[in-house]
Structure 1
Amino acid sequence: MKNFTSVLVLLIFGMTFSCGEDMDDSLQPTEANLIIKLNFDASQPRLDNLGQPAIIPDGNAAQTPTIQKMSANYIEFAPMATTQLGQGEVVFVGEETNAGNATAIDFKQSIFAGDDEVFLSIPLSEVASGSYEWVRVSLAYQEGDIKVLNNGSEITGTLASFVGYNNYITSFDLNGSTITVNDDVLQGFWAFEALGFTSQGQAPAGATTVPNPLFETSPVPQGSCIVTGQFSNAFIITGNETEDVTVTLSFSVNNSFEWIEVNADGKYEPSIGEQVVDMGLRGLIPVASN
């Protein structure tokens, strides 16, 4: 009986200790995360490469696409206007490959997000504490709807825009149609689908707008599509956060799809030779909240 009592006491003690451990675990605070969301705003200012208001050049026309999803390849927080590219806090670098014989964004491994959707979530403990005034985002891909005039009728089609510095593409689905490339394509490559028909082309080198208000103090390489935006108030990470912090990257899509007019009617008509010249986003406003 004595042995049985001893065993029973041990079992009860063990169960109590185990339950106590479970309770302690449940009371542990969850780790706070940095959440990055994307937003596409048609009402934001339309900016040029220097971050200044931009008009549509004579002889060109533009329209505001309805962006369905986007991908970025690089995100960096910069503390000051003089912080050089790569010397800030880099929180994301996308997958790259040399399959096309040059370093390129690996499209098949890209991360995508739609309007007001989460693009990235990482523990805040992985982000250095500090005060950040700027954010740099290297855009890679955007997909959305545009209007096209064809044989007198205006139809809606889907445009895939590769705005990254270099992109390795095997194939991809565009609104149910397969586009096969199996090669590297430089910034400005695009593909279009409407009514089951597809086409593709290449915008001129250097024609894609990449707003950078820090052009004089912190330039970025041409063709990199690293868009720069400023927080209205410094984005501060103390290292003691207990709740998630969200940074929304709001991109201007205000007349961001631009072409050279043949028929000056403000409608994109590729069948008569109107050429795409710009698909770059027109500005970035980052907003932090928790």
Structure 2
Amino acid sequence: MKYLNIIAAIAVLVSFTNCSDDNKIVPTEPEANLIIKFQFDPAQERLNNLGEPAAVAAGNAAQSPDFARMSANYIEFAPNATTLLGEGEIVFEGPKTTAGGSNAIDFQNVTFAGDGDTFLTIPLNDVAVGNYKWVRVSLAYQEGAIQLLSNGVDYTGTLASFVGYNNYITSFDLNGSTIEVNDNKSQGFWAFETQGFTVQGQAPEGATTVPNPLFNSSPIPQGSCVVTGEFENGLTLTGNETNDVRVTLSFSINNSFEWTEVNADGKYEPNAGEQVVDMGLRGLIPIVAN
């Protein structure tokens, strides 16, 4: 009887052990993500709307802002040069609203990223398998420091430039100063702060540079601020990735803030009547790292 009890106990123990093995949780591989970062490069080539190298226009002057942050409203991967806008793989669309009347970017709910910061992280499973050659990015907002001259004194000020196609803005903080808007503002609206003093303005329609090397085969709507860049070696997604895929969007800010010169000294002098004519980015190079 004693031996029978021992055998029964062993049987129960084995039963529990087998049950434990059957229900053991097997670790799973972490999900691979698409990670998109921003980079602002003052040394990157300066391009025009056609994606061609461009110098500062005669009679104008320009400087490279020290951007603190940017926001995008749309990111799309395109497989070839004839892929029309919207027919590629759209990996990001920002918030929109009709609170100001017509459809506009909802500035109060946009996502920001600084130089070297991550703007977007999404599962790679959410991105279609394919070979992509181009990326399109619709910029919405830029904010950073610029230099100006006023009454013989050099100042550093903070510039906010709304480069999106249409922007609904309630208010925004600019270096501690609150700018009230509560309206839609078209592409080219800007505000500037220095020493607690603020001023607002509007760049001329169509003046914001938006480089698109695919101008002939895949044009973009006027005022959309969709900057186009080419992957040097393409971007291939197979659907079998186990590691994150990182794409750095390197934007050229090479002399991207441009104004008309009244005093030919290369310094921005708003008190002299010098007018802002361009705040657009000057090129895009997407860089892939696995």
Task: Flag whether TM exceeds 0.5 (same fold).
Answer: yes
In structure 1, what is the Cα distance between the partners aligned to 2:33 and 2:264? 50
Aligned partner of residue 271 in structure 1, secondary structure: helix
Amino acid at match of 1:200: Q
- What pairs with 1:146-165 in structure 2 (closer than 5 Å)? 146-165=146-165
- Aligned twin of 2:69: 69
- What pairs with 1:1-80 in structure 2 (closer than 5 Å)? 9=13, 12-13=16-17, 16-17=20-21, 20-21=24-25, 24=26, 27-80=27-80
Change (3 A) 1:14 1:195: farther
**CA RMSD in angstroms, aligned pairs only:** 1.9
| Shift in Å, 1:271 | 1.1
Change (3 A) 1:17 1:48: same
Q: Cα deviation per residue 1:222-256 (whole Å; 9 max; x = unaligned)?
A: 00000000011111001000000000000000000
Structure 2 gaps, min length 5: none
Larger radius of gyration: 2
| Shift in Å, 1:262 | 1.0
- What pairs with 1:203-242 in structure 2 (closer than 5 Å)? 203-242=203-242
Amino acid at match of 2:84: Q
Amino acid at match of 1:238: T
**Residue 132 (structure 1) aligned with residue 132 (structure 2):** yes
Structure 1 gaps, min length 5: none
- Aligned twin of 2:169: 169
Misfit runs of 4+, over 6 Å? none
How many residues are treated as equivalent by the alignment? 285
Aligned partner of residue 262 in structure 2, secondary structure: coil
In structure 1, what is the Cα distance between the partners aligned to 2:194 and 2:38? 26
| Shift in Å, 1:59 | 1.1
In structure 2, what is the Cα distance between the partners aligned to 1:240 and 1:251? 30
- Aligned twin of 2:253: 253
Identity %: 66
Per the normalisation by structure 1, the TM-score is: 0.94
Per the normalisation by structure 2, the TM-score is: 0.94
| Shift in Å, 1:16 | 2.9
In structure 2, what is the Cα distance between the partners aligned to 1:104 and 1:15? 59
Q: Cα deviation per residue 1:86-139 (whole Å; 9 max; x = unaligned)?
A: 000000000000000100000011000000100000000000011000000000
